[in-house]
Each structure stands twice: as structure tokens, then as C-alpha cells.
Amino acid sequence: MSKSPLKIAIAGLGTVGGGTVQLLHDQAELLAARAGRTLALVGAAALVRPPELPLDGVPFFTDARELAKTCDYDVLVELIGGAGGIALEVVKTALERGRSVVTANKAMIAHHGVELALIAERTGANIGFEASVGGGIPIIKSLREGLAGNRLSKVMGILNGTCNYILTTMRDSGRDFADVLAEAQALGYAEADPTFDIDGIDTAHKLAILASLAFTMPVDLDAVSCEGIRHVSALDIRYADELGYRIKLLGVASRTEAGVETRVYPAMVPLSFPLAHVGGPFNAIVTEGDFVGRTVLEGRGAGARPTASAVVADLMDLATGRVGPTFGVPVADLTPLPAAATGSHRSAYYIRLMVKDEPGVFADIAAALRDEKVSMEQIIQRGRAPEETVPVVMTVHETEEAAMLRAVARINALASIAEPAHLIRIENL
């Protein structure tokens, strides 16, 4: 083994950083055999040196900025997190020094990926971010390399394990959102402030990255329409089961004649589609290409070991020289594509209403749908409760989103409607 070692510095020794250190230590012989050179840890930075990690003899820094500026490394692994701040600073420092970067930081890539790619091109460095989307699922490599011979029309998936865990547990237990969220926080599946997960922001970051790779366009986080899962109830999940669906938080990027659509939303997924059966904290991603057709990748979307596996995959590419432009082509060749007009999206819908059980209710609801040319498919109402509110569930055929929202606004204004309508898209895949 005549090649010099690949010298690695790691900034951030939390869950993923610690997992990466452990993997490099435990799999050292395997990695060296496959890379034809050793992968040597030459520096690490964190506020406190974790005593449980195999860091004997490794120079340690309490300031990641000093590590990035002064350590002699070939590649900096950034695992601090956050779109800006110290994480962005150390990555820019490394790239300006002509050193490559590997990161799991989806927020930073979504906000600053093009800017960082330009620095890398100027200084001759490389950026790997396999671990930023899908945990241990090799989706970045699949889009950038494995599917390079295809024009992709769609990439979609379950991209947030926290939300998938919550929705799966709600279905399995029959409990409501707030109760399951509290449990997920107690178990460590959800953060103390779960906003980024449950409001779809984390999924939006990941989807913006996938859309850039799939459609050879600049990362455009601002174009992502985002809706979370706070409004999904146990009642909705029971009705979804009855109708033959599972509710999943999806990130969907599609290239259509009207432009590129990038959307995050809870959706009813038919049981015949692979994503319907992805449970717990798992992620799954579906692509559609003109030559390959449909591909499905599934795996653990977070955690120390799966994400460390993705980090080390990028390190192995650098060790063996399997590198290329950050987003598959040089930044100058990323082509901005028009975003589809707001409201032009077409979908079938599930609508749940809480209505006062009185004469004329259905006629008023039907009139609101008719006037917007929304075609009803089926209605579910069981029993009667005069002078009380009862749930009424409807599904409607595929229609334009703008028309659906206008119809719902009219329905919500009816005196017989006790609370705003619950609207969930149906993905007829």
C-alpha cells in the first residue's frame, strides 16, 4: 500500500461525529483494503473531548475554527450543523485552503450549496454531502452517478424519520398527534423544539437538494412549498386506513410542462405504492427516469451508524479519486428552471368536515364543490346526531389546487360547519 494516507479532520463530535470516529476506527482495515490507502484521523474538534471515543493520539481542538485553519488535513468533515455560524465558517476556511469537505449538513447545502460549490471549483477542492439526505441511503450518489443516463421527471420520498415515526405510531396506537409527539421527544426521536421536523422544514431542505441534483438546477429552497403534519389527527389516520391509504409526510419534486414543482406535504399514499409500507424512523426515496423507470431506495434515515456510513462513503470517494462537480455538473451549467405557478398543482383530495347535523348541509357543500368544478368521488357519514356535530369525510377526483382551496373556503364559511375543513392530498400513484 504505497499511497499516502487520506488525512481527515472532524469538526463536531455529537451523534454523527462520534459514529464517524467509531466507524473509522472499527473498520480501519476494511476501508484501507478498499481504498488502497489508510484513512487517518489527524484532528478533531468539539467543546469537550468525549472520553468514550477512540481519539488517543489525535490532536484535539475546542475551537473548530482553529482546527480548520491550522490542522494539516486533506479533508474536513463538518458535523456541527446549522445553516450558518461556525459550521459555514469552517467549511469556507477549508475550501479556501484547497481542502475538500464532507458534511451531513442539509441546511447549509440547501442555503449555501451553490456558493460553496463555486469556492470548491476555484480552489480545486471537492464537496461530499451524501449524509445530508436520507441517512444511510445512497441517494446523492444515485442521482449524481447511478442515474446520470436518465432525464428524471420526479424524485419523491419520506425524508424525515421523526415525522414518519409519529405518523406510524399514531396509526398503530390510535393516539393523537400531541400525545405521540411528547412520547417521541421523551424517547429522543424528536427534538425538544420539533418545529424543523414536524413543520416540514427539514424535509424542505432535503428536497431542495434532491431537486437540484435530479433536474441539474441550482438549489432553490425558496421555491419549496412547505406544509407539516400538526393538523393530521388520529381520526384522519383511521379514515385513511378505511379508504386504503397510509398518511405520510412527503417531499415531492416534479418536472412538468408548467415548470418544476417542489412541495412538502402530508399525503394519503395508496397501499399498492412502496412508500405506504415504510414505517417508524425509516426513510424511502423514489425516482422516475426515462430509461430506468422507477427506482426505490429505503433505509434508516438518521442515527449515528447509518449517517456515519454515508459520511465515510464520501471519504472513500475522496480516497480513491472518485470525485466530480458538487451537483453533478459545474455550477455554470446548472440551469435555472421556472417554478410551476402556485395553485396549478393537480391532485385528488380527502376532506374531513365537522358539521351540524341539520337539513340542507350536503346540498350547500355540494354546491360549493360544483361551482368550482370539483368532482366528488365518495362520502362517508355514519349515523345521525341531531343538534350535534358529526364527522363527514369526502374524497374528490383530481382537480386544480386553486379550485379546491376556493371550494374549501366557501365550505368553511357555511354556518353548518363547526371547524375548518381538514384537507389532505391523495397521491394516486
Alpha helices in 131-279 (DSSP H): 139-141, 161-173, 177-187, 195-198, 201-215, 234-243
Nearest to 423 by CA among 383, 380, 386, 393: 393
User: For the whole prediction, is pTM greater than 0.75?
Assistant: yes
Identity (one letter) of the amino acid at 120? Answer: A
Q: Which helix (H) or strand (E) holds 149?
A: none
329-349 burial, b at 16+ Cβ within 10 Å, e below that, comes to: eebeebeebebbeeeebebbb
- Name the maximum alpha-carbon separation found in the chain: 85
- Cell 471519504 sits on residue: 315
Give me the pLDDT at residue 172, please: 96
Q: Could you read off the pLDDT of 119-150 as tens digits, one per residue?
A: 999 999 999 999 999 999 999 999 999 999 99
All structural domains of the chain: 6-132 (3.40.50.720), 139-300 (3.30.360.10), 346-426 (3.30.70.260)
**Residue 92 annotated as catalytic:** no
Q: What is the pLDDT of residue 360?
A: 84
The 10s digit of each residue's pLDDT in 49-65 is: 999 999 999 999 999 99
The C-alpha atoms of residue 229 and residue 33 are separated, in whole angstroms, by 45
191 or 299: which leads in pLDDT = 299
**What is the DSSP code string of 239-269?**
HHHHHTEEEEEEEEEEEETTEEEEEEEEEEE
Q: How big is the chain, counted in residues?
A: 429
Please provide the average confidence, as pLDDT, over all residues in the chain.
95
> How crowded is residue 3: how many other Cβ atoms within 10 Å of its Cβ?
12
Q: Tens digits of per-residue pLDDT, 239-248?
A: 999 999 999 9
Q: Which tens digit of pLDDT belongs to each residue from 186-235?
A: 888 888 899 999 999 999 999 999 999 999 999 999 999 999 999 999 99
Catalytic residue among 106, 141, 206, 248: 206
Residue 1 has pLDDT above 60, yes or no: no
